[in-house]
Amino acid sequence: MREDRSRLLFQIAQVLAGVALGVLLTLVTVRIMDNRKVINAKYGAWRKLNLILEEVGKNYVDTLKVKEMTDAAVVAALRELDPHTVYMPPVQLEESETELAGNFEGIGIQFNVPNDTAIVLEVIPGGPSEKVGLQPGDRLLKVDTTVIAGVKFPQDSMVRRMKGPSGTKVTITVKRERETIPFEITRGKIPVHSIDAHFMIDDTTGFIRLSKFSRNTYKEFHEAGKDLLDQGMKRLVFDLRDNTGGYFDQSLLLCNEFLSKGDTIVYMEGLHRPKESYRADGRGSLRDVALTVLINENSASSSEIFAGAVQDNDRGLLVGRRSFGKGLVQEPVYFSDGSGLRITVARFHTPSGRCIQKPYSSDYEYDIYKRYATGEVFSADSVKVDSTDLHHTVGGRPVYGGGGIVPDIIVPLDTTAKVTPFYSACNRKATQMRFASAMFDRYRKELLSIDNYPALDAFLGRIDIKRQFLSFALSKDGLRPEGDEWERTEEYLMPQLKALTARYSKLGDNAFYKYYLPVDETVTKALTAQ
């Protein structure tokens, strides 16, 4: 059986490789010396491509690089299909699968690089780094013997050097205050969390931010929802902005938490896939919780399935900007060399019949940039819908197809006077992030001891962030607000400074999002919308 499969895979590779040659004649003609050989070939069953490869293999003047030709040919062939049917070499496939698998092998830290030196933001509880004593705020100087600080070392290369098979060792050298400390860490399995934050905004309103639909998403979401229900949640703001999707079944399970028995969640259909509908079973634990879903132009795939199900069933309110528009059912094919395919086999449709997938076009991959260029992300009036593709929710509200999910309330990007030249200059130099790092250095022990919001509020109020930031911006970056710039910027900038500093406390990302929400226009609109 394995031998037959290997032979089949090799034949497929041979078939696809022919496409790169670009030969599109009805007959294949090969001239050898003065003899002409004519081979009958047809397009129907890919036989022609096999014949081309056979002739090239038997007659080409030099040694063929079969692997490179095959990979190039596969990529070229799939380019003629939709943009999401792709071939992935072994390394790319492994990275893609690891991102969604729910765990990976490594040392268990999250870090940021505000100023050419990586700073640990979080040490994952129970992971290898926590066990040896790494702490938030540690500066990463070296991985084994490779210097990664102060040399503009690529962040993705840092990650690759730290990752590795469980049981292998790596030495991470860090700077902590005035000390340089080497830590020998034995790599292990690290859980990957898909929920960035969950907390109560007020006495009755919960907030959950989901970054991806990974293998563990439903389990994490269920636990977060239960925690918020125990705290008195009656309404949930569910943030799916910048969530590019993931596992389809996890999206179904999350939809099921909110919908009534028999409600359609989504259906799929393709040339070789008959229509298949998915419905809620009515046993979800959040069916009585009011729901507001946040989406934007980077919300895609499983995020759009969730948003479409909520909107078409009139189950909640969608707030934000039009979603990406990726609604394709993709099936994986794996090869023995570690590579694989993602093949589009059907399209997803919302309960009302809208196709989530946006139309393919010559500038498909630049669609998001086009939305900025045409002003769609800056003005609700610039959002284009296909008025000829009209559908209706279960309650009779009109909704339109044409690709992506258009929210019920559109919140354009904020371009008000808050974004002053001083604020823009700080953003360019990452002044806010570097300031937060400096605050951690100054108040390290106090921040690391804070595990509740009253204590954090008191700390942030006591250290006079405004005065310290203005001093830091001037001394480190030569920046100072002119005229009324600070008055125009303060309302927008101060919550960011508090959020970035609060992230270094034991409350982590929960604290970041909680303090950042006051300047999040989409959240503000969601909280005031009925």
Give 428-440 pLDDT, tens digit per residue. 888 998 899 889 8
pLDDT tens digits along 141-187: 999 999 988 888 887 788 888 888 888 999 999 988 778 889 888 88
**What was the pLDDT predicted at 16?**
38
In whole angstroms, give the CA distance from residue 13 to residue 451. 56
Q: DSSP 3-state assignment of 408?
A: coil
Q: Smallest Cα–Cα separation from 500: which of 415, 435, 445?
A: 435
Left (φ > 0), alpha (ψ -120 to 50) or beta: where does 354 sit?
A: beta
Residue whose pair of structure tokens reads 């639909």 in the numeric block: 213
- The CATH class, in words, for 103-191 is mainly beta
Give the model's confidence band at 351: pLDDT under 50 very low, under 70 low, under 90 confident, else very high.
very high
Q: Does pLDDT of 29 surpass 80?
A: no
Digit-coded pLDDT (tens) for 214-223:
888 999 999 9
Q: Give this prediction's pTM.
A: 0.79
Q: Where are the alpha helices (DSSP H) in 43-105?
A: 47-59, 66-78, 90-101
Least confident span in 323-327, 377-381, 419-423, 494-498: 377-381
User: Can you tell me the mean pLDDT for 259-276?
Assistant: 96
Q: Is the pLDDT of residue 17 over 80?
A: no
Residue 238, SS3 per DSSP: strand
Q: How far does CA 77 lie from the centroid of its chain?
A: 27
209 beta partners:
197, 239
| Rounded Cα gap, residues 31 and 245, in angstroms | 52
- Give the separation between CA 422 and CA 382, rounded to whole angstroms: 29
Answer whether residue 387 shows pLDDT above 50.
Answer: yes
- pLDDT above 80 for 31: no
What is the pLDDT at residue 525? Answer: 94
Alpha-carbon distance of 161 to 106, in angstroms, equals: 9
pLDDT confidence bin for 414, thresholds 50/70/90: confident
233-261 mean pLDDT: 96
Contact 400, 354 (CB under 8 A): yes
Q: For the purposes of burial, counting CB atoms within 10 Å of the CB of 107, is it exposed (0-12), middle (13-18) or buried (19 or more)?
A: buried
Share of the chain above pLDDT 70, in %: 89
Confidence of residue 25 (pLDDT cuts 50, 70, 90): very low
Task: List Cβ neighbours of 285 (8 Å cut-off, separation of 6 or more).
Answer: 222, 225, 226, 229, 257
Beta bridge partners of 173: 142, 182
Tokens of 343: 């093949």
Quote the CA–CA distance of 455 and 438 in Å, as a whole number. Answer: 20
Contacting residues for 242 by C-beta, under 8 A, at least 6 apart: 211, 296, 298, 299
Structure tokens at 440: 């951690």
Q: What is the pLDDT of residues 304-314, one digit of tens each?
A: 999 999 999 99
Q: If DSSP codes are grouped into helix, strand and coil, which group holds residue 93? A: helix
Helix axes 508-516, 453-462, angle to 10 degrees: 60
- Closest to 318 in 3D by CA, of 342, 295, 287, 284: 295
Residue 171 gets the label, from left (phi > 0), alpha (psi -120 to 50) or beta, of beta
What's the rounded Cα separation, in Å, for the pair 352 and 197? 32
Mean local confidence (pLDDT), 46-51: 78
- Rounded to whole angstroms, the Cα distance separating 173 from 124 reads 18
R_g (Cα) of the chain, nearest Å: 27
Of the candidate CATH numbers 3.90.226.10, 3.40.190.10, 3.40.50.1220, 3.40.50.10310, the domain formed by 195-410 belongs to 3.90.226.10
Distance of alpha carbon 513 from alpha carbon 197, whole angstroms: 7
Give the HSE-up count for residue 338: Cα atoms under 13 Å, Cβ half-sphere. 8
Domain range list for the chain: 2-80, 103-191, 195-410, 421-528
Distance CA 87, CA 488 (A): 50
| CA separation for the pair 343, 476 (Å, rounded) | 51
Q: What is the mean pLDDT of the chain?
A: 85
Tell me: pLDDT of 379 over 60. yes
Just list the catalytic residues.
301, 312, 326
